[in-house]
Amino acid sequence: MLGKALAPKIVEIGEPNDVRPWLYWIEDRPIRFLLPTSMLRMQGAFHFGRGHPFVRALESGPAALISFYESFKPSNLAEMYQTEKKGLRGETLPPWELPWAMRADRTPPPGEAGLSSAHGVSFYGPASCDKVVAEIDRLEAIAASIRSRGYDPDRYGDIEGHFICSRSELCFFVRGGKHRAAVLAFLGHERIPVRIKSTWPRVVDSIAADDWPLVVNGMMDVSLARQILDAYLKGRNFAN
């Protein structure tokens, strides 16, 4: 018989470097980090501040999300991260690619909320009207639930992802739970509980960029790979 799952150890983080010792945690008990909201990133390097497309949609309504999907329609990685095109390998790869992700098959993100991928993805445009409605409905439902019952990750499920770092800089890439993270940011939470996703590395460090899968297999120049990581550390707003 399997034993009862251990309750997470809660670790409150004051500043990014406070995370580093906990990356070497070896106990069975998982860690739930309470991170400053400013440390979180969505794919595309969007931070979860007032400039986040989901946060702005919650503040201003569907028009803000429609504007995001209409104005941010990258066709490749260079456009996704707004890097200067220099003819580097990897610039023309699809916008959803990540230089440090090792996959059996490099396939685009699947559809969500019962919609096929033809309707678009959540973190860049274009998106169909049905996709916009699905995203707004999801955000508003989560917001209503958290307002009435509070946020309990043991009930909702943890916001998951991995850390990204370069020297003294560090942030958290949300790989699951971006809608919950956006709602918590919108509601004014200064810290957001997260856990490291078990199927991803604990941390992606720029010092190891030569070993990232897309670099090793020759699909991407290491300089572009580092530029993408730097974009996450810096973070960006919807307006950018």
Beta-bridged to residue 10, according to DSSP, are 32
pLDDT of residue 23: 95
pLDDT of residue 1: 44
Cα(50)–Cα(59) distance, integer angstroms: 9
pLDDT of residue 238: 80
Distant-in-sequence, close-in-space partners of 196: CB < 8 Å, separation ≥ 6? 31, 160, 161, 162, 163, 202
Q: What are the domain boundaries of the chain?
A: 9-234
User: What's the average model confidence in pLDDT over 6-31?
Assistant: 94
55-111 pLDDT, tens per residue?
999 999 999 999 999 999 999 999 999 999 999 999 999 999 999 999 888 888 888
Cα(138)–Cα(130) distance, integer angstroms: 12
pLDDT of residue 111: 83
What sign results for the dihedral spanned by CA atoms 200, 8, 235, 113? positive
CA torsion 157→197→217→116, rounded to 10°? Answer: 0
| Count of helices and strands (H, E) across the chain | 8, 8
Closest CA to 181 of 18, 42, 22: 42
* Mean pLDDT lowest among 9-13, 73-77, 152-156, 166-170: 152-156
pLDDT of residue 2: 54
29-53 pLDDT, tens per residue?
999 999 999 999 999 999 999 999 9
Closest CA to 139 of 56, 66, 196: 56
Backbone angles phi and psi of 211, in degrees to 5: -100, 0
Q: Is the pLDDT of residue 214 over 70?
A: yes
pLDDT of residue 3: 57
